[in-house]
Amino acid sequence: MLLIGGADSIRPLLGDAMSRFSKANDFTLVNNFTINHADKLSDGRHFMSTCAPQGVWLDLYDIEFTHRVEWQDDNYEKRPPGSPDFKLRSVFTARGTTKDTITVFRVPDGKVAQFSEIQVMVKPLPKGKVGGEKRSSTLDRVGFSGMSSKSVPPEGLMSGEPGTLLYVDPTTDTWPSEHDKPYLQLEGYIDEAEFSALMQRLSMTAAPVRKATVRMVAELFEHEVDASLSEPWHHKDYGLLLRGEDKAYGFTRARVESVSVAFKPTTISEDDADDADEPKTAKPISMDNLPPDMVSKISKDMLVKIEKRLGVLTGIVGFSAAFVVGKILLG
């Protein structure tokens, strides 16, 4: 995979990279989470691609925190009487890149778009909501992918998960957008207490970010041969199926499993450290620690004062000498 740009602007060159999901004219949908391919194994079973929880690591750039006030609805829990209608919400946003490829596709049309970059949005949610009904992890896909592939249940393996990996095509959508081409957006959640602690820690430091990552778990298709032969560090070829007739949106369930932010250590030079130990007001005033313009001004003022004093002293000495001489002459 080719990369362009510096460390802060990594973007894979996707081009027309071939994927297992680039062509789908011979795909047979068993259900929304299971695909049979035309090719068969020696025992007569069709090769399969199954949609199961997949772990995807994202390197984060352009990290931001946004604070806003939002209207509260009853989507996740019934609010007790007297609850405020609005609540202050904070959102963690970033741009994420991955070594893997996610191909958005339709059956039987094939590839719609390809991505190795995802817009990341993380929000807080009350404890106990993240994980859905089954609290599925990547281990749950073992029985449905690879050499042990079998049809995934019609409801999938991450039912009830509140987070989503969303495909958006702003070119076919009537809503205004800051994007001018299709993109993927991860909308994930973490528990409110941990989100607040993360936000506080990120807000308290001015140190530059060295590295930031998010691990996403999402229901994505993978061919059983790739699932059997690939290692965790290999490039992965995933598919996101667009269901229905909507051409502007598509989604799959997803979860933010971890957020990690590492900061560069802040160092102080020896000169700065010495200055920090002794306040400037404690330093003795001398000609050595004054700026040149002030030294010049002080020197000029001192010369004027010295000349005036010498003039006065000369007058006094002259008057005294004349008085003494006169007294001697007059007896």
Q: Is 188 helix (H, G, I), strand (E, B) or coil?
A: strand
Closest CA to 96 of 219, 227, 211, 230: 211
Whether 197 shows a pLDDT value over 80: the answer reads: yes
Closest CA to 50 of 153, 137, 135, 139: 153
If you search the block for the tokens 């702003």, which residue do you land on?
A: 170
**What is the domain partition of the chain in residue ranges?**
3-263
Quote the pLDDT of residue 114: 97
Whole-angstrom distance, CA of residue 98 vs CA of residue 235 = 9
Q: What is the distance between the terminal CA atoms of the chain, rounded to a whole angstrom?
A: 117
Residue-wise pLDDT tens digits, 29-58: 999 999 999 998 888 889 999 999 999 999
Residue 11 has which token pair?
């973007």
For residue 285, the one-letter residue type is I
From the DSSP assignment, how many helices (H) and strands (E) are in the chain? Answer: 4, 12
DSSP characters over 14-38:
-TT---TTS--TT-EEEETTEEEEE
> Which run of H or of E encompasses 191?
strand 183-191
The answer to whether the beta carbons of residues 29 and 107 sit under 8 Å apart is: yes
Residue-wise pLDDT tens digits, 199-246: 888 888 888 889 999 999 999 999 999 988 888 888 999 999 999 888
Strand partners, 106: 110
Read off the pTM: 0.72
Angle (CA) 246 252 255, round 5°: 150
Q: Is 195 helix (H, G, I), strand (E, B) or coil?
A: helix
Residue-wise pLDDT tens digits, 97-127: 999 999 999 999 999 999 999 999 999 999 9
